[in-house]
Structure 1
Amino acid sequence: MSKIEFSAEQKAVLCQQLKAYVANELDHEIGQFESEFLLDFIAGTIGPHFYNQGVSDAAAVVASRFEDIAHALYEIEVPL
């Protein structure tokens, strides 16, 4: 897996959301630098867990679809 990176626009939105969350939930104001540092920490340490869960969920969907395809192929086989 490559490093999780965001565009400048995505990072600005995410940092604003982090600043609002910390202010509302923790009653603490953080600046742009702190919010970017926190976002980098979350993306680097927690993000891979969410990414891996997404990959696992996608693999389950693909496996299910392959089972459906295999069943459909079996149904169209010509009996010998």
Structure 2
Amino acid sequence: MKPVKMPQDQREAVLDHIQEYFELERGESIGRLAADNMLEFFMGELGPAVYNQALSDCRTLAVQRMQGLEEDIYALEWKIKRR
């Protein structure tokens, strides 16, 4: 899987949140490089699992919509056969 590219403004916001988290929750101050390294680590560790779950959710939704479409088509066929 190729690495996820985040728009720079989104990446900066995430880095801000990581630094804020460490300050508020742990009482520690971490620099931008440490926050960036942490983001890269978690993106590498969690990214594939989150991506695969998103694909699974999309697949489920697509199957549900296709079943609904198939039911609509059968209903149209039934109407034509009854005429």
Give SS of 2:81's match: coil
Q: Which amino acid aligns with 1:32?
A: R
Counterpart check, 1:13 vs 2:10: no
Q: Percent identity?
A: 24
Counterpart CA distance in 2 for 1:51 and 1:65 is 21
Cα displacement (A) at 1:51 = 1.4
Greater Cα radius of gyration, structure 1 or 2:
2
Gap runs ≥5 in structure 2: none
Matches for 1:1-80 after TM superposition, within 5 Å: 1-77=1-77, 78-79=80-81
Q: TM-score, normalised by structure 1?
A: 0.90
Q: What's the CA shift for 1:37? A: 0.4
- Which residues of structure 1 form unaligned runs of 5+? none
Give the TM-score normalised by the residue count of structure 2. 0.87
